[in-house]
Amino acid sequence: MRENILFSSFDPRALKHLKQIDSFVAIAVLFEKKHYGAKLPSEIVESLAADAFNCSHDELSKKWLTNIKANNIPVNIYTVNDKRNMRRFLKMGVNGIFTNKPDILKAVLADTKQIQESESKSS
């Protein structure tokens, strides 16, 4: 079950403690400006030996997304509850979306998969 668990926290001390307990545990940074200031996501992830970066959908900027993608860091955003924004963030390449509306996200993912399949057939 280990490969299906990702621990995440706003508090960098909690993430460091988890790594001390088990250096192989997967952790994700939950960004909070008071802890990290103006650091880029790659700097934060590297400093904590994290496996992913989580932030609010409002915080995810083009600069951050470029930095994240250039460093192959999985990024998850929270909390997105409407179809339009779900589609937009999936198109931007986020790896995961936190939502209070899993039924809507499931439908959006099914639509996105269907569109991709029909595009690949027509290519």
| pLDDT one-digit tens code per residue, 11-21 | 999 999 999 99
**Which neighbouring-strand residues pair with 9?**
29
| pLDDT value of residue 120 | 65
Place of tokens 């991709």: 116
| pLDDT value of residue 114 | 66
Domain harbouring 98, CATH code: 3.20.20.190
Domain count, the chain: 1
Contacts of residue 101, defined as CB under 8 A and 6 or more positions apart, other chains included, come to 81, 82
Distance separating the N- and C-terminal Cα atoms of the chain: 38
| pLDDT value of residue 43 | 98
Q: Which residues constitute the domain of residue 102?
A: 2-122
Which regions in the chain score pLDDT beneath 70? Answer: 114-120, 122-123
| pLDDT value of residue 2 | 79
pLDDT digits (tens, 9 = 90+) for 29-51: 999 999 999 999 999 999 999 99
